[in-house]
Each structure stands twice: as structure tokens, then as C-alpha cells.
Amino acid sequence: MELKNKFERAVVLFILFAGGLLVSLPFIWMILSSFKNDREVLSIPPTLFPENPTFQHYIELFQNLNFGVYLINTLIIVLFSMFGLLLNTMAGYGFGKFDFRFKEGWFMIVLITMMIPGQVTMIPTYLILNEMGLTNTMAGIILPGLIAAFNIFLIRQFMVTVPDDLIEAARLDGAGEFYIFFKLIIPLAKPILAVQVILTFIASWNSFLWPLIVANDESLYTLSVGLALLQDENVTNYGLQMAGSAFMVVPIVVIFMIFQKYIVEGFNVSGIK
């Protein structure tokens, strides 16, 4: 579908601009507030631009945060989460493109894991990790979050739309199943995978609960846990919190910018429904 003329273009652009402003206001406020002193952060009506810009919160952040260790831990988790994404993609493909016994039952098990609030299963999950001897290990931090039903479901939904003929043709050419998956399916799934990479990155970059629960040692903490430690019991330091969030959000925006263009690319393969 395309817009017919300049006027329509202008109208749609205007709507997008107005909506965009509304949607990004708290974000802009968050960034700008990281340069405000604490009193200004909460003043009513709020100020948008800091009256007396200060870098105090950023200085505090970098002085008090045990950066090196936390950053490495966070990056390890991100790395493994991408491996988890591969497993999710494989499973989504399996559910979308194969027939096997009890397929719907297996898939229901996957979906069910989305249907219970996380806090309910926190303690049982911890006890399982404990039985496996994985408390206070990196593996214990990574494993519970590695697989996400949401991702499997999304990929499955996409895979259903990939024509069977395409895969059959490749099989007739003698291609192995994994060859088909990596050389045919993954390139085809680029847009949906781009979405997945973004979501997976954000989730693992912000990982908080499991590093905190599983670690019996600060050497396994992540950046998010480190940031949470800077908060006082009684006095919320909003400026510092905003600086922390602003700092954490930079890599997310970068990853988003890189991968969002794949969302609209690809799909040159003709004949896809």
C-alpha cells in the first residue's frame, strides 16, 4: 500500500511526529534528568532541560560501580543468550515445519511456561539449580533464561508461512536437514530473527534476577545488579538512577539501530506467501 499524494504524506508524517513525541517524552526526560540535581528531578511541574546541568551522577556512577567485572559478566550472558536464540530458532523451525507425534502436546508445554508469573517459579527453579550444583556458577545464571517460549512461538508462527515446496526442493537436491536450516531457513527468516536478536539482547543485557539470586559472590554480578546496589534504602536517588538507565540504554539503542534495518530487508525470495 502506498500513499497517493503529498498531502496524505504530510498528514501521516504529522501523526507520526505527534505520536512519536508523546511516546518518547519520558525517555527524553530520563536522559535529561540524569544531568539534573535531585531536587529538580522531582519538581512539579517537571523541567525538561536541566537548570544547572551536572555530571555528578555520571561521576558517581563510574566511581562506585565495579565496572570491569560486571561488564564482563554481562557480556558473557549476552553471548550465551545468542546461543540460546539459536536453540529457540531451531525449536521454532521444528515446530513449524515438521510433523511428529505429540507435536501439539510438546508445543503446549512450551506455551505453558509463559502462563505463570515468574515469581511463582523462582524458588522451585532455584532449588533445581541447587540440586544440579549450579548455584554460584555462571551456568546457573545463564541456563534459566536461555530458552524463551515467546521466541519459539514467534519463530514457529513465521515458519508456518514458509512454503513446504521450498524445503522439499532442497531435500530433493540432497541437502541435509541442518544445511537446509542454516542456508535456506535462516536467511529467509532474517526479519523475524532481527526482531529476536533485539529482544534477546535487551533481556540478557538487563539480566538482573538470576545473577543476584544465584551468585554467592559479587564476582558474578551484572551491570544491572551493580546499578541497583547504588540505591539507598530510604532515599531514592533519582538522578543517579536516570544516569544508570541512560548508560545502560546506549548499547541497546546501538544494537537496535544495527538490526532494525534487517527487519525490512530480505524477502527477495519469490513465491513466499
Binding to another protein, residues 222-241 (CB under 8 A): 225, 228-236, 238, 241
Asked if 58 is part of the footprint of another protein (rule: CB under 8 A), the reply reads no
Asked if 47 is part of the footprint of another protein (rule: CB under 8 A), the reply reads no
Among 36, 41, 81, 222, binds another protein (CB under 8 A): 41
Asked if 166 is part of the footprint of another protein (rule: CB under 8 A), the reply reads no
**10 Å Cβ neighbour count for 239?**
24
The rounded radius of gyration (Å) of the Cα atoms in the chain is 23
Report the SS3 class of residue 18: helix
| 260 vs 57: CA distance, rounded Å | 31
Angle 207-213-215 from CA coordinates, rounded to 5°: 90
Asked if 170 is part of the footprint of another protein (rule: CB under 8 A), the reply reads no
Among 35, 57, 61, 192, binds another protein (CB under 8 A): 192
Among 10, 18, 24, 67, binds another protein (CB under 8 A): 24
Task: Report residue 93: phi and psi, to 5°.
Answer: -65, -45
**10 Å Cβ neighbour count for 73?**
22
Asked if 35 is part of the footprint of another protein (rule: CB under 8 A), the reply reads no
**10 Å Cβ neighbour count for 78?**
19
Residue 71 or 268 having the CB closest to another protein: 268
Per-residue CA distances from 51 to 43, 103, 232 (Å): 12, 61, 25
- The DSSP 8-state label assigned to residue 46 in this structure reads P
| Rounded least distance, CB 224 to another protein, Å | 10
Among 75, 184, 186, 199, binds another protein (CB under 8 A): 199
Asked if 116 is part of the footprint of another protein (rule: CB under 8 A), the reply reads yes
With contact defined as beta carbons under 8 Å apart, do 236 and 40 qualify? no
Asked if 217 is part of the footprint of another protein (rule: CB under 8 A), the reply reads yes
Asked if 111 is part of the footprint of another protein (rule: CB under 8 A), the reply reads yes
Residue 27 or 55 having the CB closest to another protein: 27
Asked if 61 is part of the footprint of another protein (rule: CB under 8 A), the reply reads no
Asked if 153 is part of the footprint of another protein (rule: CB under 8 A), the reply reads yes
Asked if 258 is part of the footprint of another protein (rule: CB under 8 A), the reply reads no
With contact defined as beta carbons under 8 Å apart, do 136 and 216 qualify? yes
With contact defined as beta carbons under 8 Å apart, do 193 and 186 qualify? yes
State the binding string over 63-102 for another protein (x if CB under 8 A, else -): -x-----------x---x--x---xx-xx-xxx--xxx--
| Rounded least distance, CB 192 to another protein, Å | 5
Sign of CA dihedral 192, 194, 197, 200: negative
Residue 50 or 137 having the CB closest to another protein: 137
